[in-house]
Structure 1
Amino acid sequence: MPETAATVEFRGLRREFGPTVALDGLDLSVEPGELLALLGPSGCGKTTALRMLAGFEHPDAGEVLVDGEDVTRVPAHRRDAGMVFQSYSLFPHLDTLDNVAFGLRMRKVRTSERRARAAELLELVGLADKGGRFPHQLSGGQQQRVALARALALRPRVLLLDEPLSALDAKVRLSLREEIRRLQQELGITTLFVTHDQEEALSMADRVAVMHAGRLEQCAPPSELYGRPATPFVAEFVGTMSRIPGRLADGTVDVLGQRLPVDGPVPSATEVDVLVRPEAVRVRPEADGKSRVVATSFLGAAVRVTVRLADGTEVKADLAAHEAAELTAGAVVSVSLPERPVLVVERTR
């Protein structure tokens, strides 16, 4: 495994595909031994950035650095990076052991050494007894474990994961993301993980870089990203967020009959939307309330209650089961927010 974890830097990366700007001046640093998730919708540039680090794409402008060395034009086979793809990309004619050892074979490592190394990695990913099986004899989750072991066989300085779990079913996905995180922490390898699944990103990463239209919107630890989103896009892309109409005055916002301080930038417009998470919304039965419950759904530890305000706006609230017991569809309720700063954006409707 890597003796020292690598640092990675993207400096001003720009990449255009015809009229489409895939990356628009991306600046991003990855710390040694960190697992950083690149999160965003399709077409945001996250995979393009990963492929530039791998050496499969080259920028129109900007630089890629690993441990301070400019590798922007270094060929992929000299990048010292291991990559795991969405499709397992295993060789169907090779058994599991030889699939893992393939890169070592290409580097002309002695047979005994490469087979010992492959066996060690199969044990690491929990497949020690599957060395003689062929890909078609393995489940999807097992095949992806083999692909991960193969990527680690050459002891890369950087591990790159391009949506490696998206082809798997939900239960296997959950198990494998825990396994990947355990291995990454055990090995201390610098890792970039591309995903469009916010739950994967928030549960696995040390930091999450949210991308939109080729630009970096915010890079922060999961708790900060969720609790203090830097932009409206991050606020609404990460987790569930409701928009409640409000009115700005003197640096505070009037919303739901309350006056609350504003968190972050204050728009110049008077009419704004207040962005609130479901767990921050309070809903109580009230005979003369001005809102009405539209629907409820059971989420396990909580019940999600959808409420329609007097102006027709729908707001989601996550409540404990005992709090939601009386909140059946049609119930008349009051809605309020805690007395703390809220994020506001200019109203778009």
Structure 2
Amino acid sequence: MTSNAPIAKRRTAPDATGVPVTLRGVRRAFGRTTALDGLDLDFAPGELVALLGPSGCGKTTALRILAGFETADEGEVLMDGEDVADVPANRRDIGMVFQSYSLFPNMTAAENVGYGMRVRGAGRRERRERAAELLALVGLPGREGHYPHQLSGGQQQRVALARALAVRPRVLLFDEPLSALDAKVRLQLREEIRRIQLESGITTVFVTHDQEEALSLADRVAVMRDGRLEQCAPPAELYARPATPFVAEFVGTMNRIPGTVRGGGEVEALGRRLPVHGSAPAEGTEVDVLLRPEEIAVRAAADGTATVQVATFLGGLTRLGLRTEAGLEVKADLPSREAAALAPGARCTLVPHDGAVLVADRSAAG
């Protein structure tokens, strides 16, 4: 099942330069390995879409085809309605930021930023002024004369971002640009990328394997698996209403609770009958009910059928690790005030929420 949901209206800068981008029926194989299997995906003008998925899902191949570094075996690549499948990478008006920075070591920060402009024939003064403007935009004012070896990893990546923006691209592509940075710098630069993208209004595609990064940055997240699109939706929708069991378990933490399908489109799990989201399997089918940690209430009870194994304090929330008498491992998130009464060793009962639940084939567990 795939989903490429319509995009909610979003705020962009008045001088937004983004253009619509479309991948339609894109296929790419390397020998006997299919990297993309008929990928359909639309990007709205000024939108930031994160391509998320496990290694080998095809997200980087999709990005390289957009950039012009790879050629699709089949399908269309449209930018502002124009098919650019046969247009060379250097003529697509695309800016790209790589994981490895890829700065020229013998050039200063300003020279690196202005390199693309120089190739396009811009004068020295224009390049110098544009470089100073962009280096200030990415938080590096006064570093124009610094060489890459004089800058930290995070600063080098900011220079790489400024270089990508210098040529005023129609589309901006990021290939896991933050994965080589430490956690604090990664967070800071993530916020800077989002701020700059919103101000510039450039259509942006961001490839990452980090779900937190994708959910915090993007207008929509496209989850990919085996070269296909599983679901594309705003982060909140993706988390709360996953279209498939794969999306449910890949995005965020998910419990698999054994259940049995009953009549009326319901499933019985943890002693309760719950409505099934979507089509329910045949009555009597043994399934796994997918419940997030916050969808399970935990109540202290001396005769309860579960025991608290561990409590992890996370600020306003505490995550409890529980084990039922049947040996089932369950995670539940509670407000820390409530969790204070449930120390490791405490007996309790588990109560699922009342909403509709997604169910998965029991044989697909693990």
TM-score band w.r.t. shorter chain: over 0.9
Structure-2 separation of matches of 1:4 and 1:326:
54
Give, as a single letter, the amino acid of the residue that structure 2 aligns with 1:325: A
Question: Which of the residues 197, 207, 213 maps onto 1:200?
Answer: 213
Deviates more, 1:4-13 or 1:228-237: 4-13
263-272 vs 81-90, greater mean Cα deviation: 263-272
**1:291 corresponding residue in structure 2:** 306
Distance 2:225 2:159 in 1: 32
Q: Does 1:252 align with 2:266?
A: yes
- The list of structure 1 runs, each at least 4 consecutive aligned residues, that deviate by more than 3 angstroms after superposition, is 1-4
Displacement after TM superposition at 1:53 (Å): 0.4
Q: CA RMSD in A?
A: 1.2
Q: Secondary structure of 1:132's match? A: coil
Q: Percent identity?
A: 66
Partner of 2:152 in structure 1? 139
SS of match in other structure, 1:130: coil
* TM-score normalised over the length of structure 2: 0.93
Q: Which residue of 2 aligns with 1:308?
A: 323
The TM-score with structure 1 as length reference comes to 0.98
1:236 aligned counterpart, secondary structure: helix
Instruction: Name the structure 2 match of 1:79.
Output: 92
* Contact 1:243/1:273 (8 A) holds in 2: yes
SS at match of 1:318: strand
Distance of aligned partners of 1:19 and 1:127 in 2 relative to their CA distance in 1, 3 Å threshold = same
Give the structure 1 partner of residue 223 of structure 2: 210
In structure 2, the residue matched to 1:15 is: 28
Conservation of the 8 A alpha-carbon contact between 2:16 and 2:46: no
Q: Give how far 1:327 is off.
A: 1.7
Secondary structure of 1:10's partner? Answer: strand
Q: Give, in angstroms, the shift of residue 278 of structure 1.
A: 0.6
| Aligned counterpart, 1:88 | 101
* 8 Å contact kept, 2:17–2:200: no
| Distance (whole Å) between structure 2 residues aligned to residue 106 and residue 3 of structure 1 | 25
- Which of 110, 113, 133 is 2:126 aligned to? 113
The separation in 2 between residues aligned to 1:289 and 1:113, in whole angstroms, is: 73
Q: Name stretches of at least 5 consecutive residues in structure 2 with no aligned partner.
A: 1-12
Q: Distance in 2 between matches of 1:60 and 1:267?
A: 38
Alignment of 1:1-349 (within 5 A): 4-250=17-263, 251-268=265-282, 270-348=285-363
| Contact 1:286–1:334 (Cα < 8 Å) also in 2 | yes
Query: Which residue of the partner structure matches residue 4 of structure 2?
Result: none
Write the distance in 1 (CA, Å) between the matches of 2:279 and 2:204: 33
Stretch of structure 1 that moved more, 321-330 or 8-17: 321-330
